[in-house]
Structure formats: structure tokens, C-alpha cells
Amino acid sequence: MIRLIQNEWMKVWARKSQWVWLALLGVGIAVVLILTFRTAAPAEQDWKALLLQENQQHEQTIAEGSEWSDPTMLRADIRENNYRIQHDLPPERMLQENVWSFLRSSVHLLNLVGLMVIIMAATIVSTEFKTGTIKLLLVRPPSRFRVLMSKYLTVVVYALMLASLLFGLSFLIGSICFGFEDRAVDILHRGDQLIERSAITGVLIEYATSIIHLLVIGTLAFAISTIFKSDKMSIILSLLAYYGGTITTGVLLAFFDWAKYLFFINADLGQYFSSEGAILEGMTLGFSITILLLHWLLFIGAAALIFQKREITTGE
């Protein structure tokens, strides 16, 4: 299996397009760095006075009963501001730019990583059929299942490598250019209770949940690549699922309760580590993980079944 993965890995980096994608990722980090320097504001020294002023404005808005504001959210902001003042914890927006805030900015580049993973996963099998090299793979001793799994594991390693590269470079650049900030703390709301969480914990959770989302979408793209011989069709369907799946699920949720069992709404595990909580009442972290595992088994099972039974022909 290891030799099969090594063979697939060499194929991936033999493509010039992969180096272009890596260059684009580097450009993306550079753009985030430049924008951070241009938009970074100096830290407010009297941040406590500003938070007290915010509280007064919120209280006035609540008293006026404006229909454009949510009293529950305003009261939550007041509680958090009072907590920060009491414990000397400035909000991130009133701190100087630091490595943690830079990492939070660069996490959006995982969308670019997702695009790279989808294109790679959506072509890793279909391209073999298009070029005819699939015949050379399957005349060798390894079974079809091992060949297919070696390709899938290559997709997983590829996704983890890109996400780790993004995090590592962003951390290195952020720590050199902006330094660390010990007072950077997230405050989570759990009903009337406030929970303090370190900035590094929040950043790691954001990256980890985003990577899980990448792997789920990459698995779907891989299954589509196995089912369809056309790499163009695989890429189009995978991109539609990536960018349109969440929107489609949101529309379905407005009419059908069963939509909560679709993997798109459950792929965002970050919802369980935020103040907002689950998108739908009754959803839990365990529920979403179970749904993702079931869909993973469905995608891999369908890909393996079709690949095992498919007559090996080439072309689109």
C-alpha cells in the first residue's frame, strides 16, 4: 500500500498545475499580510471606557425598543463587556494585531485549499480512465480495492499537507511580523454563562473543524471521480456540491425536517464551538459526527463498489 501511495504522490507533483496552486497559496498569504498591515489600527489604551460607552448605547437601544435590534443579543454583549472589564481582558478588536488574529484572517484561505483538494480528488481516478493508464495499474498484483484506497489516502494526505502548510506559514509569518498577545481571549456564551477560551484554542478549533469539512468534501469529490470517467464532469459536480450544497440544504431546511440529515449542514462542526451553537435545535456534536461517518461510508462504499465492477475502458 505504501508503494502505491508513493506512486500516486509522485503523479500528483509531476503535474505543473500543482506548483501553480502552491504559488497561488503563497500569494494568498502575502495578500492577507499586506491587507493586515494596511488595515491594522493601533490598540486602544482606554478600551474599558469604550466598552462602558457601548454598554450605555446598548441599554439605550433596549429601552427604546427598536424593532431593528435584538435585545437578547444586546444583553449578551453587555454581559461580555462587563466580564472583560472585570477580568482585564480587552476584546480582540481593541488589541494590536498579533499572531492569533493573523491566523484567524488566514483561515479564510482554506477556501482556496478546498478548491485545490476538490480538483485533485475529482481528477485522481477519472484522469486515469481518460489517459488509459488505468489499465497499467490494474494489471499489477494489487487488488482494485487497494489501488482505489491508495488514491483516496493520497487525497487525504494532500489535504492535510496543504492545511498544515497554510497554518505553519501563517503562524511563522504572524509571529515574526506581529508577535504574541497573552491577553487575546475568546468569550463564549452558553445561555447566561460565559466561558473563557484562549485565543490559540479558538484558532486551532477553527482550523481543525475546517479541515474536517475539507476531508468530507474531498471524499465526495473522490467518489464522483470514481463514478464518472470524465474529469470535467467530476470537477463540475464536485464544485457545485462544495459551493452550492450548503445553500441548497438551507433552502430545504425551510420546508423539510429531514434536510438535517444531509451532510452539508453537519460538515460545519465549528457551530458547536461558537456562541451561536447548533444551527438547528436538537442537533449535537455527536449527531453531526454520526451523520458525517455514515455519509463517509456511503461515499467510499459507492466508489469501491462501482470501481470493483466497472469494465475498464478508456476515454470520456
| Phi, psi dihedrals of residue 185, rounded to the nearest 5° | -135, 140
pLDDT at residue 43, as a whole number: 62
CB–CB of 54/150 below 8 Å?
A: no
For the chain, the distance separating the N- and C-terminal CA atoms, rounded to the nearest angstrom, is 28
The per-residue pLDDT for range 223-249, each reduced to its tens digit, is: 888 887 667 777 888 788 777 777 777
SS3 279: coil
pLDDT at residue 232, as a whole number: 78
Model confidence, pTM? 0.85
pLDDT level of residue 6 (50, 70, 90 thresholds):
confident
CB–CB of 42/96 below 8 Å?
A: yes
What is the separation of C-alpha 215 from the centre of its chain, rounded to a whole number of angstroms?
A: 9
pLDDT at residue 140, as a whole number: 65
Question: What is the domain partition of the chain in residue ranges?
Answer: 2-42+108-177+200-309
The per-residue pLDDT for range 74-97, each reduced to its tens digit, is: 888 999 999 999 989 988 888 888
